[in-house]
Structure 1
Amino acid sequence: MVQGIAAGAAVPRGMLIADAWSQLGDDVAPLSNASGRPLARTVKLLLDPLVLRPNLNPRFAGGLIGVEHVDDLRRAVADAGPALAATAAWFQLVKRARRRAGVTEGNPQDLYFQRCFELAHLHGDPADAPDAEAIAAATVAEVRAERGEVTVDRLRRFMTDPDQVVRLAGLLQRAWDDRPAPRPAPHDGLTAFLDTCATAPSDAQWNALAANGVGSAEAVELDEPRVARGYGLTARERPEPPQLGDRASKKALPPPFDRSIMERLFAAFTSVFQRESMADIPSMVVGEIHRSAAAWQLADEPSRVAMALGRDASTGIGYGGQATPASDANARLMARYAREAYVHAVQRRPDPESAMVPDDLRREIMDVQEPYLRRLWARLHGRELRGETTAAGDVWDLLDGVFRSVLLDQRDRLRRLLERDGGRP
């Protein structure tokens, strides 16, 4: 709970929204993450544009909310509670209709969250609508018709057009030839931000890190032999210009820096794009070419700062990791890792490096930083493609959320292996 706020103080927006959301209860669980907080897409697609409407209510905008507006924001979320509960119920129904229709393209949250909010206002709770199943099926069919041609097909045709291949190859070569020369790193301030971002994120510190180009400066080391490979971002000695590519599969994606332009866009198009974001394929391809030649292979300085913060926050986590945390954020991630039951299960085994654990998974457990930075890069890359900005109040949720995702993946994979081997997770 957010309480006991001093007069004239301000409250981080994300914390306040999470607190107000927690009062809505289990009825909004389909719109929440495992911690009971609203999903990032819930905030982006529902709360911001349809409930809080910061463009019309500037007091709800920004990373910090003035204490005089805290109750107003809470009231806005609470008042929308019944509509959000109905939205969640419609979303469950629409997802079932989607499965029955055999629809697999696109992210359901992107496609249906706002449609379900409309259904909630038109029909109330689906339990009270006698034709709810038919309405859900019609919604799926309508969205599918509006989306028209599958975007991945358009992307593939564009990138395999012979005339485009020649032009794009020239753009790619020039983008890498024109990369700016490395410059010395400024006084970074990364540790100071990591010491407070989980509890009291500072807009001033965050803005200074981006304005001073700290993320770009911290990327200089990636061109040194084996540095980017040590972070799990490439399998090569050092990053090289990517291929344009003509095919992709989400089941066989290489490390981020080794992905072709086709693979980078394919991974994002199949999961995060809304129709309006897919309209201009040529511009997106050109943008990705330039992004591939930028620091951390990301376009925006805040994204690069976030990668540098993630690198430092994840340092020393794994078998034989450092004993003394380097920052508060580093300590929190270490503590989360140490609490994982599967870590202790593997440590109790006579030979933790037995053949029972495949080499790739064993490496990930021994050094969590590699899978962590790969997933953080993918998350930031997706945010850039969606045009999402990253504010100081978003950083800890981003860093911690990616870490949780990595641990859940390792836990699930190890549980299956241990059970098959006769052990207990």
Structure 2
Amino acid sequence: MAQTIAAGAAVPRGMLIADAWAQLGDAVAPLSNASGRPLARTVKLLLDPLVLRPNLNPRFAGGLIGVEHVDELRRAVSDAGPALAATAAWFRLLKQARRRAGVTEGNPQDLYFQRCFELAHEHGDPHGLPDAESIAAETVADVRAERGEVTVDRLRRFMTDPDQVVRLAGLLQNAWEDRAAPQPVPQDGLAAFLDVCATRPDERLWKALAANGIGTAEAAELDKPRVALDYGLTAEERPIPPVLGDRASKRQLPPPFDRSIMERLFAAFTAAFHRESMADIPSMVVGEIHRSAAAWQLSEEPSRVAMALGRDASSGIDYWTGPGRTRSDANGRLQARYSREAYVHAVLRQPDPESAKVPEDLKWEIMNVQEPYLRRLWARLHGRELRGEPTAADQVWDLLDGVFRSVLLDQRDRLRRLLERDGGRA
């Protein structure tokens, strides 16, 4: 590949990794998707942190790899081939041991990928190893023990216990009856921070926004008819108290404010982060009940400020908005990112909407990007609160921009899959 690229050019990182991965063959199939490419979690949990290590090798970071580093990256993946093949073999064994042990909670890739990489380096390929199955069983048991009682099964048992249901329902009712309506303030400073957060974040201003309760004050509008609905945070005319809930599915989660207490915590449990940073189950449930009745349904003032910033940064973004009409530097940057998306142009320029074969919900999200953006920003901030992760001034723009980029990538991927399925052309 490198020989056919002009000097000074660059190669998309994903394409380069996929090409190098394909050379490893069927031995890494358990770590690959149906098209033979590495799974997203393979890249996230194995290739990036353990093979390519972009933090130590900046030349392997970023979306584009300089042509002078192409062969080196390919060689890094190739050299790791035997270890990755052994990792794949161990992963297959651990999944079998997991089934035998009746373990159902957690994503096996999140739980075992890195453990399998360790086993590969410690024991090599498990084929022909006499005690491979016992090592796999012990590893599954160790992982389960490390996760302790902070599991989805434990959460469900706690929230469906008849005695707990009565107590928790009372707490939920009291929390919502006691909630104080936020009061708006005339001067907020949000626009000033949005003008500098991407280039020179003002720590003093960020702290002042939180200290003055600006995020809470900006939540006052959410109780007005259709405001939270128009933000995509609820399907109701106004936010209403959530139910406790006794089941959840990550693929069928309603808007954030309409999720049951069970669904809110379930979404966080199934995310890939360290379980040791989470509180015990009873504390988490009670905390979530009180969080549901708070401004923006978030418990930390910096999170509420971030939601208000995200609302303003994403306001008015559409295909027709010109650079001169943006509300702040952050708003302009998000607008520019949106305007560059080719799929947005393709969908909005369709002379016959039906010819695009795009479902109404996806077309709506593309043309009203603020709604999916605020939903995802809320989920990101909610997860940070559960993990106890504070948000500093110099992290705000990465958060706002990262969520926006994630929404656009998700829309792009959904549209591409749709067109591929229907035989269309991207």
Per the normalisation by structure 2, the TM-score is: 0.71
Any conservation in 1 of the 2:175–2:293 contact (CA below 8 Å)?
A: yes
Alignment of 1:345-364 (within 5 A): 345-352=346-353, 356-364=357-365
Deviations, residues 53-72 of structure 1 (Å, cap 9, x unaligned):
xxxxxxxxxxxxxxxxxxxx
Alignment of 1:21-420 (within 5 A): 105-106=105-106, 111=111, 119=118, 130=124, 139-147=139-147, 151-272=151-272, 274-277=274-277, 280-321=280-321, 324-352=325-353, 356-420=357-421
Deviations, residues 328-361 of structure 1 (Å, cap 9, x unaligned):
1111111111222212222343224657111111
- Separation (CA, whole Å) in 2 of partners of 1:224 and 1:110: 41
Residue 147 of structure 1, CA deviation:
2.9
- Separation (CA, whole Å) in 1 of partners of 2:353 and 2:111: 44
Deviations, residues 98-147 of structure 1 (Å, cap 9, x unaligned):
55656774367975799699x5xxx9xx6696458868886455213433
- Separation (CA, whole Å) in 2 of partners of 1:420 and 1:298: 39
- Separation (CA, whole Å) in 1 of partners of 2:182 and 2:279: 35
- Gap change, CA 1:185 and 1:116, over 3 Å in 2: farther
Runs of at least 5 residues in structure 1 that lack an aligned partner in the other structure: 1-25, 48-84
Any conservation in 1 of the 2:256–2:379 contact (CA below 8 Å)?
A: yes
- Separation (CA, whole Å) in 2 of partners of 1:416 and 1:115: 32
Deviations, residues 279-304 of structure 1 (Å, cap 9, x unaligned):
62111111001000000000000000
Deviations, residues 222-260 of structure 1 (Å, cap 9, x unaligned):
000000000000000010111111111111111000001
- Separation (CA, whole Å) in 2 of partners of 1:149 and 1:244: 20
Any conservation in 1 of the 2:94–2:112 contact (CA below 8 Å)?
A: no
- Separation (CA, whole Å) in 2 of partners of 1:253 and 1:322: 35
Residue 183 of structure 1, CA deviation:
1.5
Any conservation in 1 of the 2:226–2:237 contact (CA below 8 Å)?
A: yes
- Gap change, CA 1:335 and 1:279, over 3 Å in 2: closer
SS at match of 2:235: coil
- Gap change, CA 1:116 and 1:218, over 3 Å in 2: farther
- Separation (CA, whole Å) in 2 of partners of 1:378 and 1:410: 17
SS at match of 1:246: coil
- Separation (CA, whole Å) in 2 of partners of 1:274 and 1:168: 26
- Gap change, CA 1:91 and 1:131, over 3 Å in 2: closer
- Gap change, CA 1:218 and 1:413, over 3 Å in 2: same
Any conservation in 2 of the 1:244–1:262 contact (CA below 8 Å)?
A: yes
- Separation (CA, whole Å) in 1 of partners of 2:87 and 2:393: 33
- Separation (CA, whole Å) in 2 of partners of 1:127 and 1:142: 18
The percent identity for this pair of structures is 75
Any conservation in 2 of the 1:151–1:278 contact (CA below 8 Å)?
A: no
- Separation (CA, whole Å) in 2 of partners of 1:136 and 1:194: 51
Deviations, residues 3-61 of structure 1 (Å, cap 9, x unaligned):
xxxxxxxxxxxxxxxxxxxxxxx9xx98987xx998xxx99xx99xxxxxxxxxxxxxx
Residue 278 of structure 1, CA deviation:
5.2
- Separation (CA, whole Å) in 2 of partners of 1:181 and 1:199: 35
Any conservation in 1 of the 2:147–2:276 contact (CA below 8 Å)?
A: no
Residue 91 of structure 1, CA deviation:
12
Larger radius of gyration: 2
- Gap change, CA 1:32 and 1:231, over 3 Å in 2: same
- Gap change, CA 1:396 and 1:339, over 3 Å in 2: same
- Gap change, CA 1:366 and 1:145, over 3 Å in 2: same
Residue 274 of structure 1, CA deviation:
3.7
Letter of the 2:327 counterpart: A
- Gap change, CA 1:312 and 1:151, over 3 Å in 2: same
- Gap change, CA 1:142 and 1:199, over 3 Å in 2: same
- Gap change, CA 1:106 and 1:128, over 3 Å in 2: closer
Greater relative CO (CA pairs within 8 A, separation 6+) = 1
- Separation (CA, whole Å) in 2 of partners of 1:394 and 1:116: 33
Letter of the 1:286 counterpart: V
* Aligned alpha-carbon RMSD (Å): 3.7
- Separation (CA, whole Å) in 2 of partners of 1:249 and 1:302: 29
Deviations, residues 197-222 of structure 1 (Å, cap 9, x unaligned):
11211111111111111111111000
- Separation (CA, whole Å) in 2 of partners of 1:96 and 1:211: 51
Residue equivalent to 2:4: none
Aligned length: 350
